[in-house]
Structures are given as structure tokens and as C-alpha cells.
Amino acid sequence: MSDQNAIPITVLSKTSITPTLFSFTTTRPDGFRFEAGQFVRLGIAPEQLLANAGKPKASISQKIFRAYSVVSSPYDEYLEFFSVVVPDGAFTSQLQYLQVGDTLYLNPEPFGFLTLARYQEPMPSDLWLLATGTGIAPFLSMLGDLNTWQNYQNIVLVYSVSKQAELAYVDKIHELTEQFGKLVDEPAKLHFVAIVTRENMADCFNARIPILIENGKLEERLDLFFNPATSHIMLCGNPQMVHDTKEALKNKGLSMNRRGVGNIAVENYW
């Protein structure tokens, strides 16, 4: 569906995480459905920019749209998103000035195949969710879905950021673990691994995800191993991480998921 059919949604809350990261919630239009892991296209209109306290670029004359993974679960009554601020980015240099009550536009067609439903073989056993930065978004939505906790024995969530302050949603990850631990008989065991690459943080890795796979340190720390017969692996975020991690995994005998069969599914954010 074209962005021209986008419908207005209202900003309900906004949380600043760092000067270049923030999250926000919006109303969820009646009848808007999506699967955990999918993304939408969000738009911002010039009149909204002019109404805000920011410094809109005078050249913007029509709505601008960008892809955004949904953070909230398919069962939440609101929608949540997690955004970077790219200082010169056409969209986020404006979106950063968002205020509660502002209007955004939602293309009501959900997109993308970074969903658990894409796996037919191997059968679910261990789910590896590997993200950089805002690439954690689709995985948060999956952790809000009962099926994820019911269908797997182990969920590994690896979250790589540059600086400790960028580790958003850590409390939320623990809350979801507790919540679904009570709701599900024999829930999956969550193994959460934080990586901070440009600072030293106690109990944290500080090397990139593909390096930790190549040198075996990630598996060693978890005492859990990538296995072509049992692993579903999703990569999301920085294209360099996605590329290098894919190669590291292929070298360990894992394969890209095509037409439902295979281990690795990916989403590049740029």
C-alpha cells in the first residue's frame, strides 16, 4: 500500500535515552494488525514540523516517510518505536522534536519477514536474536509475544551498542522475562548478553558480534552452541554487523533461511 494512504496517529509519550536515541508511543488505529518483528512506514508532515519547537528545514514541503520496526507487541493497545537521531537525516533530524499530542502518519500495511513464522525447518529449539542499536526493536516485540516463550527452549538476546548509556530497554527485557515466566509453563530460558564496544563495562563483552562468534567466546560464555539442526538466528541493525555475522555463521555451517528452510534471517536498517 502506498504511503499516500497513511493514517494519522497521535504521540502518547516520548522518552529520551541519550541525545541521539529516544523512544515514543502512539495510538494504534482500530484494525491495524502486525506480526512481532515486522516494520511499518512512519511519516511526518511539514505542518507538524513547523508547529514544533525544533528548527524545521524550510525545504520540506511534503510528508517524509521512513521504515520503523514496531517495538510493542501485537497484543499491546498502543504502538511503540525506538529511534536514532541522525543529525543530518531528513527524517530524524525533525522527528527528534516530537512532542506528546503531535500527529504522525502510519502506512497501515505492515512489512517484512523477520518473523518467527518464516521458520519451517529446523523446528524451534534455540532462538538467537542478535542486534546492534535500534535493531533491538523487532526482538522486543517478539519478547512480548507468548508464542516466542512457548516455542523455544532457549532465547539468546545479544544487544550490542557503542556506549553503556545506549543500552535502552534493559529493565523492559527483565520485566518481560518475569511476566512470561509466570504466564507460560516451562518458558524458554532467556540468556541476555550486552555488548558495549567503545567503553569498558564490568561483565560485558566489548568486541563486535561477528568477532565473538568467530573466536567462540559468545558460545563459550553461554555454554550454548550454534547448531544447524536446532538454531534459528535473526540479525538486525547495522548492515556491516549483519554482513560480517552472516559470514561468521556460514563458516560454522549455518545457512540462510530461504522459503522457510535454514537458520539465518536478517534485516538491514540502512
Residue numbers of the site for ligand FAD (CB under 6 A)? 39, 66-69, 81-84, 86, 89-93, 112, 133-134, 137, 267, 269-270
Instruction: Compute the least distance from the CB of residue 61 to ligand FAD, in Å.
Output: 16
**Burial (0-12, 13-18, 19+ Cβ within 10 Å), 77:** exposed
Instruction: Compute the least distance from the CB of residue 69 to ligand FAD, in Å.
Output: 4
**Residues 36 and 115 sit within 8 Å (Cβ to Cβ):** yes
Element (H, E) at 149: helix 146-151
Any idea of the CA torsion for 246, 202, 219, 71, to the nearest 10 degrees?
-50
Q: Toward ligand FAD, which CB reaches closer, 48 or 151? A: 48
Instruction: Compute the least distance from the CB of residue 153 to ligand FAD, in Å.
Output: 28
Q: Toward ligand FAD, which CB reaches closer, 57 or 217? A: 57
- How far is residue 51's CA from residue 252's CA, in Å, rounded to a whole number? 53
Q: Toward ligand FAD, which CB reaches closer, 145 or 214? A: 145
- How far is residue 210's CA from residue 242's CA, in Å, rounded to a whole number? 9
Among 92, 93, 43, 39, which Cα is nearest to 68's?
39
Residue 40 burial (CB count, 10 A): 24
**Residues 148 and 116 sit within 8 Å (Cβ to Cβ):** yes
**Residue of closest CB approach to ligand FAD:** 89
Q: Toward ligand FAD, which CB reaches closer, 82 or 128? A: 82
Q: Toward ligand FAD, which CB reaches closer, 136 or 188? A: 136
Q: Is the dihedral of CA 152, 157, 158, 160 positive or negative?
A: positive
Instruction: Compute the least distance from the CB of residue 11 to ligand FAD, in Å.
Output: 15
Instruction: Compute the least distance from the CB of residue 216 to ligand FAD, in Å.
Output: 28
Give the C-alpha distances (Å, rounded to integers) separating 27 from 30, 81, 95, 172, 261.
9, 12, 17, 20, 36
Q: Toward ligand FAD, which CB reaches closer, 185 or 270? A: 270
Give the C-alpha distances (Å, rounded to integers) separating 19 from 50, 85, 160, 194, 202.
21, 8, 18, 21, 24
Instruction: Compute the least distance from the CB of residue 252 to ligand FAD, in Å.
Output: 26
Instruction: Compute the least distance from the CB of residue 169 to ligand FAD, in Å.
Output: 12
Q: Toward ligand FAD, which CB reaches closer, 134 or 263? A: 134
